Amino acid sequence: MTAVERPAGAPAQAGYEHGHVHEGIVAWLTTTDHKKVGVLYMAAALIFFAIGGLMSLLMRAELAAPGIQLLDLGTYNQLFTMHGTAMIFFFATPMVIGLANYLVPLQIGAPDVAFPRLNAFTFWLFLFSALIVFGGFALTTGAAAFGWYGYPPLSTATYSPGLGGDLWVMGLFLSGISSILGAVNLIATMFALRAPGMSMFRLPLFTWNILATSILIMLCFPVLGAALAMLFIDRNLGGSFFTDAGDPIVYQHLFWFFGHPEVYIIALPFFGVITEIVPVFSRQPLFGYKAFVFATILIASYSFSVWAHHMFTTGAVNNVYFAITSFLIAIPTGVKFFGWTATMWRGSIWFATPMLFVVGGMAVFLIGGITGIFLASPPIDYVVHDTYYVVAHMHYVMFGTAAFAMFGAIYYWYPKFTGHMLDEGLGKLHFWLLFIGFNVTFFPMHELGLDGMPRRIGDYVESTGWGDLNLLATVGTVVIAAAVLVFAWNFLSSLSLGKPAGDDPWGGHTLEWATSSPPPHHNFTRLPPITSDRPVLDERLALPERTGGEPVDPKTSGEEPLPSRSQEDRHHG
Amino acid sequence: MAEELRTFLRAGLWALVAGGIYLFFVGEAAGTALFAAVIVAAVAFVAVSAAMAPRSLSGLDEGSPLGRLIRAVGFGEPREPDPLHGEPEVVPLASPWPIVTAAALVIAGLGLVFGAWLLLPGIALLVIGGIGWLTQLDRVG
């Protein structure tokens, strides 16, 4: 198979483009280019990450010592509700969709997504939905204050009157529509727009994880939408789905049937990020491509069977069934860890910043995964349910993926997005501050939970003895904030001051590294032959045979050495 | 059967197995209904995809209102296998209608919270946005 090249002088995607490209702000408001939409998603997600982080700083400042310091309890309730909402719905999920928007068409060799205008629509709907939800802070009654699950009866109009709750319900409902349409678009793109040779089992693992994620979104967000619609009717139209003659437990079933797959909607794409970065920085082909694919499918499937492990203590679910299915999900996750480790094993590991973040993220996620196994055991869950142990667990899971792997992704693909490198020194400082700050913040919460400190409380008395560990956690949060400031400076300054990246600064394996940085409007002027899941590496391997070139030392040249023959054999074997 | 269809079929089969076990051992209605919904969704996707796969719009008059509508919403002829040659479908580089339609939907949603004074303008703007969106390609030729 030979490379596919556009004929000289031919316009990019003849017949594909219509109209003219606007300049400035209008260009961003009207764009249908998947890369610009992806950048918009990621920029908005990072802003909501900062807003959610500021909320956590305020909460940790309040909890640093017993007594009321700076927040009344009502405001504290609003903050923890909106912190969770912001991080789950308006940071982690859109960051996933933003990365997918930018990368999936590039990785499959497509000029754009299947429905470019629908793609732009989903972004604007997501952004406006988020503004609705946060608009609650502008009301005299305040924003929603019933926790990001929105459990009735607390979330009904009887116990949470005011428009803040209604805005929360409506905003999330509309945001869910955006997510569903985005997933449909991505699935259509992956099924219909793959380049010649790009069969399903040659899809990059990031794209495979996005496919599984998109299917999860299609199947579980409608359930959330139904739950929110019923909650809205209960609040405003005299319904009683979850009150009076209804049953609040049904809401919990519906919410967690969405909510647990949502964990994997966030985690799977970042597993994909790790799977992309580890081979490149280990100088090894990926170990066990198909095992990764089937582990991804299994995780996605299992995630629909574990929802009620969040409801053990209601006494209204079959604990044995959900404990067993929850234990099972550790198996395909373990397969992924094994694959990552085997890929690194005897590799020539290059600890550039992206690799630091994904290895740090793996370590953090592993701790979260192990405490997840503990929590899947009903006797243990009964003891620590709704305590800070659960807060620690979910942050180890979520931060390990949505933060550490996300930062790894940004350091890895920022050169592709912008044409500039991020500063490696600042990147390493960012990593170590974040890694230390994160563990100082959240590891003590395991102990606080075991000591019985409930989650979502804005105050505690001194005699509990929780003061020291809470102070330690607050100090850790300040260190995390410092890390994020370092990142922000690095990110913004590198836009103009960063070293030119070139097309392929890391020696990547997948198709996005075969085009310019940043890519042209419809992505490719030339495609390498696609005969495996790593076409760019294949082409690079073939190059020395044609030119007589020799492998180079990455430490002196910044380029990737060619894998040895044994490494090639290892992959094919 | 293509891998993409098998992926959905596997999801449905998993829900069938897990849902069957759940129904037998737990017998709880809400969860069973949710498993059933996953099975129905997966089967529906496979069935619709299989039904549509051998067809194209070639048998449909693209000048007819239905043909124009189908082309406008993006379900045109299957794309040429070569991404850099051939004549792929026409897609605008920029469009104001996505942001207009999204704003309209959100205004209509806010109307459900605040009242008809927002709901009705939202619906009107939604209709305008939808028409603008669907007819944009025809207007640019």
Interface check B80 vs A, CB under 8 A? no
Chain A contact set for B87 (CB, 8 A):
14-15
Q: How far A359 CA sits from the closest chain B CA (Å)? A: 30
Of A114, A250, A305, the CB nearest to B30: A250
CB contact under 8 A, B10 and A132: no
The CA distance from A198 to A296, in Å, is 19
- Count Cβ atoms below 10 Å from residue A492 Cβ, excluding itself: 10
Residue range B73-102: average pLDDT? Answer: 64
Residue range A341-356: average pLDDT? Answer: 94
Q: How far B82 CA sits from the closest chain A CA (Å)? A: 6
> pLDDT value at position A570?
37
**A557 has a pLDDT exceeding 80:** no
Return the closest-CA partner of residue A531 out of A523, A542, A518, A522: A542
Which of A117, A258, A264 to substitute to test the interface with B, most B CBs within 10 Å? A117
Interface check B7 vs A, CB under 8 A? yes
Q: CA dihedral defined by B118, B124, B129, B134, rounded to 10 degrees? A: 150
The CA distance from B85 to B10, in Å, is 35
In the three-class reduction of DSSP (H, G, I as helix; E, B as strand; rest coil), residue A533 is classed as: coil
Cβ-based contacts under 8 A for chains A and B: 186
Q: What is the 3-state secondary structure (H, E, C) of A143-154?
A: CCCCCCCCCCCC
pLDDT tens digits, one per residue of A232-243? 999 999 899 998
> pLDDT value at position B90?
57
Task: Give DSSP secondary structure letters for A91-112.
Answer: IIHHHHHHHHHHHHHHHHT-SS
Chain B contact set for A115 (CB, 8 A):
74
Locus of tokens 């997948």: A510
CB contact under 8 A, B87 and A125: no
Locus of tokens 């529906």: B44
Q: What is the 3-state secondary structure (H, E, C) of A192-225?
A: HCCCCCCCHHHCCHHHHHHHHHHHHHHHHHHHHH
CB contact under 8 A, B11 and A301: yes
* Model confidence band, residue B65 (pLDDT cutoffs 50, 70, 90): low
Return the closest-CA partner of residue B71 out of B130, B125, B136: B136
The mean pLDDT of chain A is 90
Indicate the burial class of A320 (C-beta count within 10 angstroms; 0-12, 13-18, 19 or more).
Answer: exposed
> pLDDT value at position B15?
86
* Model confidence band, residue A554 (pLDDT cutoffs 50, 70, 90): very low
Return the closest-CA partner of residue A57 out of A371, A437, A444: A437
Task: Give DSSP secondary structure letters for B45-95.
Answer: HHHHHHHHTT--GGGS-TTSHHHHHHHHTT--SPPPS-TTSS-PPPEESB-
In the three-class reduction of DSSP (H, G, I as helix; E, B as strand; rest coil), residue A306 is classed as: coil
Residue range A86-96: average pLDDT? Answer: 96
pLDDT tens digits, one per residue of A500-511? 998 999 999 999
CB contact under 8 A, B98 and A118: yes
Contact yes or no for A532/A540 (Cβ under 8 A): no
* Model confidence band, residue B94 (pLDDT cutoffs 50, 70, 90): confident
Q: How far A127 CA sits from the closest chain B CA (Å)? A: 9
**Measured CA distances, A136 to A90, B19, B97, B117 (Å):** 15, 39, 27, 19
H helix runs in A283-329, sequence order: 289-302, 319-328
> pLDDT value at position B48?
76
- Element of type H or E holding A527: strand A526-527
**A54 has a pLDDT exceeding 50:** yes
Q: Give this prediction's pTM.
A: 0.85
- Facing residues of B91 across strands? A17
* Model confidence band, residue A13 (pLDDT cutoffs 50, 70, 90): very low
**Measured CA distances, A169 to A126, A166, A234 (Å):** 14, 5, 11
Taking CA A549 as the corner, what is the angle to CA A546 and CA A551, rounded to the nearest 5 degrees? Answer: 130
Q: How far B4 CA sits from the closest chain A CA (Å)? A: 7
**A249 has a pLDDT exceeding 50:** yes
Pick the residue from chain B with its C-alpha nearest to A199: B3
The CA distance from B136 to A123, in Å, is 20
> pLDDT value at position B93?
75
Of A17, A177, A524, the CB nearest to B84: A524
> pLDDT value at position A562?
38
**Which B-chain residues 48-77 have CB contacts (< 8 A) with chain A?**
74
Q: Write down how long chain B is.
A: 141
Pick the residue from chain B with its C-alpha nearest to A162: B113
* Model confidence band, residue A402 (pLDDT cutoffs 50, 70, 90): confident
Lowest mean pLDDT among A61-65, A196-200, A477-481: A196-200
**B24 has a pLDDT exceeding 60:** yes
CB contact under 8 A, A21 and B94: yes
- Count Cβ atoms below 10 Å from residue A107 Cβ, excluding itself: 26
CB contact under 8 A, B98 and A121: yes
CB contact under 8 A, B4 and A200: yes
> pLDDT value at position B74?
47
CB contact under 8 A, B28 and A318: yes
Q: A282: which 2 tokens?
A: 């280990």
Pick the residue from chain A with its C-alpha nearest to B112: A170
Q: B70: which 2 tokens?
A: 């189908």
CB contact under 8 A, A253 and B41: no
> pLDDT value at position B5?
74
Contact yes or no for A344/A284 (Cβ under 8 A): yes
Pick the residue from chain A with its C-alpha nearest to B82: A196
Chain B contact set for A167 (CB, 8 A):
113
> pLDDT value at position A542?
80
> pLDDT value at position A109?
94
Q: Write down how long chain A is.
A: 573
Chain B contact set for A120 (CB, 8 A):
95, 98-99
Cis peptide before A554 (omega within 30 of 0): no
> pLDDT value at position B26?
81
Q: How far A309 CA sits from the closest chain B CA (Å)? A: 13
Backbone angles phi, psi at A454, to 5 degrees: -70, 150
Choice between B29 and A64, residue whose per-residue pLDDT is larger:
A64
**A299 has a pLDDT exceeding 90:** yes
CB contact under 8 A, B8 and A215: yes
Q: How far B137 CA sits from the closest chain A CA (Å)? A: 8
Pick the residue from chain B with its C-alpha nearest to A130: B106
The CA distance from A485 to A479, in Å, is 10
Chain A contact set for B105 (CB, 8 A):
125, 174, 177
pLDDT tens digits, one per residue of A167-187? 999 999 999 999 999 999 999
pLDDT tens digits, one per residue of A251-276? 999 999 999 999 999 999 999 999 99
Please state, for a pLDDT cut of 90, what percent of chain B lies above it.
27
CB contact under 8 A, A304 and B14: yes
Return the closest-CA partner of residue A324 out of B25, B88, B108: B25
**B64 has a pLDDT exceeding 80:** no
CB contact under 8 A, A18 and B140: yes
Pick the residue from chain B with its C-alpha nearest to A214: B8
